[in-house]
Structure 1
Amino acid sequence: MQWLDEHCDVLSKMWENLSEHLFYDANSKLDSSYHKLREAAVALQVFAIWVPESVPRAERLSVALKQADLFYEQIIQQRKQVHLVDTKSQLKKCSQNRMGAILTMEGADALQGELENLRLFFRLGVRQLGLTWNYANEAADGIEEDRNGGLTLFGKKLIAEMERLGIILDVSHLSVRGFWEVIGTNLPILASHSNCLSITPHKRNLDDEQIRAIINKQGLIGITFVPSFVCQPSHKATVDHILRHIEHVCSLGGENHLCFGSDFDGIENKIKNLRNYKEIYHLKNALLQHYPESMVKKWAWDNGFEFYLKHLPS
């Protein structure tokens, strides 16, 4: 069974300390290193460009470009064992033996309020973008902003340009008001790494109405392995708790809209027996104990593949 992972933070880890986080190193400290992904039969990995809030505004574009450069130099070009997926034809080439990689941006901070920077990253292969991380930027408020603001004027222009270019919108981390403003647009929508608020009351999770809205938009919901999103208190989170979120999305009609977004390399605390992709078999076994293999295969691969097959450019 092959897997598609909607979100990892390998690029920011490599940017912070490349010597300790080499993607192809057999002893890499990365949760989502090449060898771990290959062992887990990951056929498509989404790599996020993420610029920490601590980076001064004037340097954010530069940091994002450095992460894009690492993506190409250290992952795509170095050994040519992972190929860029920016079109339908490249998506169809993905397999357990030929891993694909989608480049995405977690937050529009690096755009610095300029649409030409969006076009620049599109030309660099970015096909998916989340407007915010947790806090406010030029485009919108993030989920941690108490004022719960929506899209700014630039954010609305950004959405229009994303529609023109054909960029997928990721609503994970976006404020609730922002979510409801973008759900009515023509953009394809996914939540790359978010769970269910009614199961675990963390503000980064989605409430039932948001989940239904994504389902109605024919979008995707990437169940994530972040312990505090899976269970509270987070130290008690187990693989079985993940199944509760899956079951809840299914109860809302989301069986064909589920996938996984690990957030590996973006989290310090891990769920027992799910600390990196070498341990994904624990989740696979738990799923197969409760659901038919055909259904598990949909969540691991088919739903995400069909979504990208519909929305990536030809």
Structure 2
Amino acid sequence: MKTIDLHCDVLLRLYDSKGKVKFKNASELDANYEKLKKGEVHVQAFAIFIDPDTKSDEKFQAALDQIHYFYTDVIGNNPNMKVLKSWSDFDELQEGEIGAFLTLEGVDAIGNDLQKLTILHELGVISIGLTWNNANLAADGVGEKRAAGLTMFGREIVQFNNEHKILTDVSHLSEQAFWDVMDEADYPIASHSNSKTLCNHVRNLTDEQAKAMFEKGGLIHVVYNPPFVKEEGEVSIAELIEHIDHFCSLGGIKQIGLGSDFDGISSKIVHLEDASMHPNLINELLKTYSEEEVKGFAYQNFLDHRPK
């Protein structure tokens, strides 16, 4: 069964290696081309992430450098990888092709310049999270003790997203910023978050947040990062599925997807260590859910709720 994965950090790994690591078959990558193919990944989202410690005047160039590796290596060196720059492009994928699209994990790279966001959108970014765990000029992340919401500039970005049918990603936002986004966003999504009820991690979503997402037509994509699944110890696929079960109990069965965070996590779920192992999750889900429901989690829910 094909899958759509809403989050990986491959581009950061390519950028950090200065191009020495190659997307096609580098063993260092959790989500290289060969592993995506083996794992029946239909579409992979590629995040642009800038380390908060990067000097301010170097952040936009770092984003452009990651996009450079996306086009020259991920797309350029692998003919069956197809760039998706609009929501209709998802319908044009042929058998054997893997779709790839760009996301922005935090708007630090643009400073206070919305024109730079226009450039990134023109280059293919179709999902934007306002921040990572830190605070920036748009919002506070979950790691900022102040825990404030969106700034006026942050609200401008959400309006930009609405106008251009760009997803606004709530993963990593402080709780107040989350609620501000829910007030503003037409296309909210949590690209890689789990349930705080099951695992009390600051990166996870409360039941109230999850219900608000579902009521607004948003999607929650469960993440494979063990500390977000349970608070300590080895994690099984069955324990990840408990988060799907819980979100279903809140009314989200048609609004749940997958967001692995491969190449951005230091520990792995047993038998779900890289992109080639997505079928292990699918097979485990099929023991509990109907084929139609599992297709929803794997790819159809996202296709049904993408901007039109």
Alignment match, 2:295: 297
How many pairs align? 308
Instruction: Write the letter of the residue equivalent to 1:63.
Output: A
Matches of 1:33 and 1:304, distance apart in 2: 22
Alignment match, 2:221: 222
Instruction: Write the letter of the residue equivalent to 1:84.
Output: V
Alignment match, 1:241: 239
Matches of 1:164 and 1:279, distance apart in 2: 37
Unaligned 5+ runs, structure 2: none
Deviation at 1:72, TM superposition (A): 0.7
Alignment match, 2:275: 277
Matches of 2:161 and 2:126, distance apart in 1: 9
Unaligned 5+ runs, structure 1: none
| TM-score normalised by structure 1 residue count | 0.95
Alignment match, 1:254: 252
Alignment match, 2:7: 7
Matches of 2:226 and 2:166, distance apart in 1: 30
Matches of 2:19 and 2:120, distance apart in 1: 26
Paired residues of 1:41 and 1:96 also in contact (CA < 8 A): no
Paired residues of 2:224 and 2:259 also in contact (CA < 8 A): yes
The aligned runs of 1:70-149 (5 Å cut-off) are: 70-94=69-93, 97-149=96-148
Matches of 2:94 and 2:40, distance apart in 1: 8
**Closer, same or farther in 2 for the Cα pair 1:211/1:95, shift >3 Å?**
farther
Alignment match, 1:17: 17
Paired residues of 1:43 and 1:96 also in contact (CA < 8 A): no
Alignment match, 2:209: 210
1:42-80 deviation line (CA, Å, top 9, x unaligned) = 010010000011211111101001001111111122232
Paired residues of 2:30 and 2:263 also in contact (CA < 8 A): yes
After TM superposition, the runs of 4+ consecutive aligned structure 1 residues lying more than 3 A away are none
Paired residues of 1:42 and 1:96 also in contact (CA < 8 A): no
Cα-Cα RMSD: 1.3
**Between the two proteins, what is the percent identity of the paired residues?**
38
Instruction: Write the letter of the residue equivalent to 1:228.
Output: P
| TM-score normalised by structure 2 residue count | 0.97
Paired residues of 1:6 and 1:192 also in contact (CA < 8 A): yes
Paired residues of 1:2 and 1:95 also in contact (CA < 8 A): no
Deviation at 1:19, TM superposition (A): 5.0
Alignment match, 2:149: 150
Paired residues of 2:9 and 2:48 also in contact (CA < 8 A): yes
Matches of 2:293 and 2:158, distance apart in 1: 34
Matches of 1:187 and 1:88, distance apart in 2: 15
Paired residues of 2:40 and 2:279 also in contact (CA < 8 A): no
Matches of 2:181 and 2:15, distance apart in 1: 31
Deviation at 1:114, TM superposition (A): 0.6
Deviation at 1:18, TM superposition (A): 4.4
Alignment match, 2:162: 163
1:109-128 deviation line (CA, Å, top 9, x unaligned) = 00111100110101111111
Secondary structure of 2:45 counterpart: strand
Secondary structure of 1:236 counterpart: coil
Matches of 2:271 and 2:99, distance apart in 1: 25
Secondary structure of 1:103 counterpart: strand
Alignment match, 1:57: 56
**Closer, same or farther in 2 for the Cα pair 1:277/1:163, shift >3 Å?**
same
1:117-144 deviation line (CA, Å, top 9, x unaligned) = 1101011111110000001001000011
1:77-115 deviation line (CA, Å, top 9, x unaligned) = 223221111223311023551110111100000011110
Alignment match, 2:41: 42
**Closer, same or farther in 2 for the Cα pair 1:182/1:16, shift >3 Å?**
same
Matches of 2:46 and 2:90, distance apart in 1: 15
Deviation at 1:21, TM superposition (A): 2.7
Deviation at 1:236, TM superposition (A): 2.2
Matches of 2:194 and 2:269, distance apart in 1: 15
Matches of 1:129 and 1:147, distance apart in 2: 22
Deviation at 1:164, TM superposition (A): 2.2
Paired residues of 2:191 and 2:220 also in contact (CA < 8 A): yes
1:182-226 deviation line (CA, Å, top 9, x unaligned) = 101242000000000000000100000100011011111000100
